Structure 1
């Protein structure tokens, strides 16, 4: 079936990126499989992360179907777009339906996007990963594709006003090599290994990020362990 909505939405997003003068540094896109199913797994630090994680698959000419909370699909604007782009609604009280939907899509050769932390990390560090992505990859027999995003929190994230001015924000994206489960590996073990790999990619993205704080008032987007004033993981957990 022809993709009537997704490509125009991507075009609109690219126009917005140019209007905002975003500066992209994307590395590792050669790891995105050109065909066949895969589970794309990313950290989650901002409301627009699905846009940027999906951007990593465009050099391979792939579209990513993201799993997102069901309330997004009820919105009068985002809902019709999300359904038309074949993203997958997740009702957390009845997650099995979304899981089966994702499995079917993976087996038909789609790339499914998952944020295994489930919610935005307000500390901008990795939270605990849920095992759903690993279980889907194991059951569908497809690889996991680890991705790390950095800088997206500066545009729009939880607890801060969105900033869509022409601030020349850099966005750094790192894509790792596909991961497959080892023989006899549990979903929990694979999830732990996956999280370690996303952590490595995140640290690489942070090291490559070309911007440093302009002053004490501009450290909110930097994790506490890197000298910033973002909440620590413990503080974020209590928010």
Structure 2
């Protein structure tokens, strides 16, 4: 597979991290296999998460093929980059083809990146996740690797202005021990175990985070730590309202 686009993108990202003096803490990079397929499952707190989740595989010399919504591939600027990096488009109306493409990549020895929450968590806790990642790992006969990210929400997240040039922001990336689900397991239970692992790892990253938000920036801290981010219940309601508004817009456009 030709890799003309991905390596320069990584090099550029690392250069930007250095220029902005982002204080990246990566722990558990040795859990990323140097060869063979794997499903890398990350939490989702920002629009930049794929960059940092991908960076976790860099020490192992691996490139991660992320599953991302089709709309990004339709973008005039983002589309060519996503295709050039061989990421996998997810079309909600044709989910089987997305799954088949991911499975083909896994069986070809690739690492496939999945944001199992599907959308950014406004509450900065781990939302409900589906069993798709577990089923994919079982079908591909590959390990499932949990990963959590904390910090990039301060740069660009849902409902807040972009601050891409903000300097000295700590970013924590924790890679957990691989899980090895197999055919015959209770996939829903394995998914619950995965959710618990991601939640524990994220809470650890949040509690160990070196910065404390200023009085006017408590929005990037979860409510359970005294921040002003929505609670999980409030965030779920906001997501539902946003989804209903989007459906209404599509219905209006169709008529």
Distance 1:75 1:20 in 2: 27
Q: Is the 8 A contact 2:28 2:174 kept in 1?
A: yes
Q: Is the 8 A contact 2:54 2:63 kept in 1?
A: yes
Q: Is the 8 A contact 2:138 2:183 kept in 1?
A: no
Q: Is the 8 A contact 1:144 1:178 kept in 2?
A: yes
Deviates more, 1:168-177 or 1:205-214: 205-214
Distance 2:169 2:24 in 1: 9
Q: Secondary structure at the match of 2:229?
A: coil
Q: Secondary structure at the match of 2:220?
A: coil
Deviating beyond 6 angstroms after TM superposition, the runs of 4 or more aligned structure 1 residues are none
- Whether 1:128 and 2:128 are equivalent positions in the alignment is yes
Q: How many angstroms does 1:19 deviate by? A: 2.2
Q: How many residues align?
A: 238
Q: Is the 8 A contact 2:141 2:182 kept in 1?
A: no
Q: How many angstroms does 1:15 deviate by? A: 1.4
Q: Whose helix fraction is larger, Structure 1's or Structure 2's?
A: 2
Distance 1:51 1:183 in 2: 32
Q: For residues 132-151 of structure 1, what are the structure 2 equivalents within 5 Å?
A: 132-151=132-151
Q: Corresponding residue for 1:221? A: 220
Distance 1:48 1:16 in 2: 13
Q: Is the 8 A contact 1:147 1:176 kept in 2?
A: yes
Q: Corresponding residue for 2:204? A: 204
Q: Secondary structure at the match of 1:44?
A: coil
Q: Is the 8 A contact 1:21 1:166 kept in 2?
A: no
Q: CA RMSD in A?
A: 1.1
Q: Corresponding residue for 1:231? A: 230
Q: Is the 8 A contact 1:31 1:176 kept in 2?
A: yes
Gaps of 5+ in 2: 239-255
**Deviations, residues 20-43 of structure 1 (Å, cap 9, x unaligned):** 221111100000001000000000
**Deviations, residues 128-177 of structure 1 (Å, cap 9, x unaligned):** 01111001001110000000000110010000001123431000010001
Q: Corresponding residue for 1:13? A: 13
Give the alignment's TM-score, normalised by structure 1. 0.97
Deviates more, 1:7-16 or 1:158-167: 158-167
Gaps of 5+ in 1: none
Rate the CA distance shift 1:52–1:146 in 2: closer, same or farther, 3 A: same
Distance 2:131 2:171 in 1: 27
Q: Is the 8 A contact 1:20 1:164 kept in 2?
A: no
- Whether 1:59 and 2:59 are equivalent positions in the alignment is yes
**Deviations, residues 187-227 of structure 1 (Å, cap 9, x unaligned):** 21111111111112112211221001222x12100111111
